[in-house]
Amino acid sequence: MKHRLFILAVMAMIVMQLFAGSSQPAKAAVPAFPGAVGFGTSTPGGRGGKVLYVTNLNDSGAGSLRDALTATGARTVLFRVSGTITLNSDIDINNPFLTVAGQTAPGEGVQVRGAQIKIQSHDILIRYLKVRSGDAPSSSSPADRDAVTLNPGSSGDGVYNVVVDHSTMIWGPDVAGITFLNGSRDATVSYSIIGEGLYASNHPEAVVSQGGHSLGTNITELNSSSYPTRITVHHNLITTSDDRNPRIIGGVNIDLVNNVIYNWGKAASQGNPRSVNLIGNMFIKGPMTKNPTGWTPKVESGASQRSGVVYEAGNVGEGLTAMRGSPSSVYAGARFSPYSMGSEDSAQNAYSKVVADAGANRNVANAAGDYATRRDAVDQRILNNLTSRTGSFLNGVGKGGTGGYPEIAWPNLAGGQSAADGDNDGMPDAWEQKYFGNTSRGSASNSSGDLDGDGYTDLEEYLNGTDPAGGITLPSEPTPQPTAQPTAQPTGQPTAQPTAQPTAQPTAQPTAQPTAEPTSPPVDPASKSMVFTPSDDASVLESKAGNNYGSDNFLVVDKQPATEFYMKFQVNGVNGAKVTSAKIRLFCKDSSAEGGKLKFVKNNDWKEGQITWKNKPDTVGDVVSKVEKVVEGTWYEFDVTSLVTGDGTFSFRIHSPNDNNANYFSKEGNKSPELVVEVKP
């Protein structure tokens, strides 16, 4: 949620505003993909980073899915293969800023079996992937195996800004589909097929004497001090699991909206949340259904039933005796805020959309960038079961017939040929020629090009099936791609701006106050312009000396209360050339009589997610550059040519001697800071 720091007469009110805002995630300039809605969908994923191809179906090693998902740095993962990837252990995604583009797999795509995918970091976007984990013995214990799990565990940065869209997550021996645990927050699962929990399996509780262990999906806390927060589950098919469809225990601001929940056994949706919006879902009784109730309040051992925690509206039941289970005290009279959906479909319209579009059902693997519909045999069977109101529970490997239910069987996925991509930039050569007239727009190490400037990179336009030109007349000659690449990926939030831009990027702005967006001065044709956005930026506040504001959308300078901000840039690609100009550009959000004074910071060990007033690094030397009066809606420059003389990491601090605070957008805001470096070979 966007927010700002206000200057108020009362110090306490300032502190409260800062403290309240810091807990919210930063937003990118555009959603994760066109049409994305839900908590966390502002994530950029791996936007603008390197391109990694999955080139084999191996468990590990170069070219494997594991190697790509566990890599460091902002990255987009594409596929040159189709078929089954059998894992010997879980894949732990511990590094942030990742996009998985399952729609690029040729043929019928890829399916993952043998273990689960555990998301233990932030800013993760997964689309069109099939995870059918199953219970085949491996080093990953079936007792703990789901299909996909969001589990902060002991990870330092937390799990947030996670989106799983148009995927299939089934057959986990513990929880069949997706699980949101503990402090996971700001996450969405949409248009996916979830469920078919295994009734009898290698899970120790999955025996007939205990009634099987067929569980659909979980949103649950493991302790009362840390619980899932701001989770959206919309337009999914949650199907044919005995229990937990889903179960929500302790979650706060959970939006369960426009899903189709079908053919459960003991319970459909249930739980004891802190707040959930249950809106516009279709609950459909199936042949396995024993409890014809939509929402069942459920109290875990040692807990007490919370009151007024479920807002239920617009849900439709087919074959139900009641939508609301007892007691009535759990139901709220008004929708909880914040609400992530804006508006929602009717339950009937949601049903039609889910039948038409749920699951890993499309690919864009051809050279033309055209989306084609594909559903393999398993996904099609699941949809057919829904539309014909048929289907039974399934058992795990070697358990066929137990309880009268059949054994799971992975399909043989049809292969296909991926489109030629000679420079490994993720965009097929023929597609680049069609839209750009050349194949030089991107590279394997830098996918930040955005021809039409709409916020989606050229690579994302291909992945999303959209027009990268947006009506722009293509240049007669290729725009050179700069060689500048970051030496290290950001440790905090990525920016919506690319790390390096083509030479058409503005190279300088006047320090005097312009009346409109400034234009660039003529560029020396023999020079090269490179634009870098911060790897880290954050404000620090003396009155809250131990607080970190690294995720704020704004950078603030003020004399009282004392507020400063820090920026760190990674410069690479100068390669010994002469730096003729280096200027930091900031976009002003709030006017002030004083724009700030810049000093050099020699210590680059600080991180935006950790820096506070208490641990901030010292500056060295005198004031290098300053800006006087600043006006909202205008770019301003700090000249750092004397400091940036080549490749390296550079940190700066800006402070102000004026009580009238100045606000600039941070890299999490709408217009990221920039370091514009001009070099002449």
Model pLDDT, residue 492: 37
Taking 90 as the threshold, does the pLDDT of residue 500 lie above it?
Answer: no
Model pLDDT, residue 246: 95
Point out the least confidently predicted range of 273-287, 335-349, 590-604: 590-604
Taking 60 as the threshold, does the pLDDT of residue 437 lie above it?
Answer: yes
Q: Are strands 185-190 and 276-279 parallel, antiparallel or unpaired?
A: unpaired
Model pLDDT, residue 549: 92
Residue with more model confidence, 455 or 631: 455
Taking 50 as the threshold, does the pLDDT of residue 4 lie above it?
Answer: no
Contact (Cβ atoms closer than 8 angstroms) between residue 48 and residue 457: yes
Tokens standing for residue 657: 């001697």
Model pLDDT, residue 472: 52
Model pLDDT, residue 632: 81
Point out the least confidently predicted range of 2-6, 237-241, 266-270, 539-543: 2-6
d(CA 626, CA 640): 10
Mean pLDDT of all residues belonging to the chain: 85
Tokens standing for residue 652: 């700066």
Residue written as token pair 């609301």: 324
Point out the least confidently predicted range of 244-258, 402-416, 493-507: 493-507
Query: What letter would DSSP give residue 450?
Result: -
Phi, then psi, of 21 in degrees rounded to 5:
-70, -30
Model pLDDT, residue 206: 62
Q: Positive or negative, the Cα torsion across 577, 581, 587, 588?
A: positive
Residue 208's pLDDT band, with cuts at 50, 70 and 90, is low
Q: Are strands 536-541 and 322-324 parallel, antiparallel or unpaired?
A: unpaired
**Using one digit for the tens of pLDDT, what is the confidence trace for 522-573?**
334 455 778 889 999 999 988 888 889 988 888 999 888 889 999 999 998 8
Model pLDDT, residue 254: 98
As a whole number, mean pLDDT of residues 618-631 equals: 88
d(CA 633, CA 586): 10
**Percent of the chain residues topping a pLDDT of 70:** 84
Model pLDDT, residue 179: 94
SS3 for 569-591 is EEECCCCCCEEEEEEEEEEEEEC
Which residues share a beta bridge with 39? Answer: none
Taking 90 as the threshold, does the pLDDT of residue 518 lie above it?
Answer: no
**Using one digit for the tens of pLDDT, what is the confidence trace for 423-435?**
999 999 999 999 9
**Among candidate residues 602, 600, 615, 590, the one with its CA nearest the CA of residue 655:** 600
Residue 671's pLDDT band, with cuts at 50, 70 and 90, is confident
**Using one digit for the tens of pLDDT, what is the confidence trace for 49-58?**
999 999 999 9
Residue with more model confidence, 55 or 593: 55
d(CA 190, CA 238): 11
d(CA 561, CA 403): 69
Model pLDDT, residue 372: 85
Taking 70 as the threshold, does the pLDDT of residue 636 lie above it?
Answer: yes
User: Strand locations in 575-632, DSSP E?
Assistant: 578-590, 596-601, 620-627
**Using one digit for the tens of pLDDT, what is the confidence trace for 261-313?**
999 999 999 999 999 999 999 999 999 999 999 999 988 766 788 999 999 99
As a whole number, mean pLDDT of residues 323-336 equals: 97
Model pLDDT, residue 294: 97
CB atoms inside a 10 Å sphere around CB 469: 14
**Among candidate residues 536, 463, 457, the one with its CA nearest the CA of residue 500:** 457
Q: Are strands 662-665 and 554-557 parallel, antiparallel or unpaired?
A: antiparallel
Model pLDDT, residue 226: 82
d(CA 83, CA 110): 5
Instruction: Evaluate if pTM is beyond 0.75.
Output: no
CB atoms inside a 10 Å sphere around CB 305: 12
d(CA 364, CA 276): 36
Residue 139's pLDDT band, with cuts at 50, 70 and 90, is low
Q: Which domains does the chain have, with CATH numbers?
A: 1-26+493-681 (2.60.120), 27-404 (2.160.20.10), 419-491 (no CATH)
Taking 90 as the threshold, does the pLDDT of residue 238 lie above it?
Answer: yes
Residue with more model confidence, 64 or 18: 64
Residue 455's pLDDT band, with cuts at 50, 70 and 90, is very high
Residue 185's pLDDT band, with cuts at 50, 70 and 90, is very high
**Using one digit for the tens of pLDDT, what is the confidence trace for 354-391?**
999 999 999 987 777 778 888 999 999 999 999 999 99
Model pLDDT, residue 675: 93
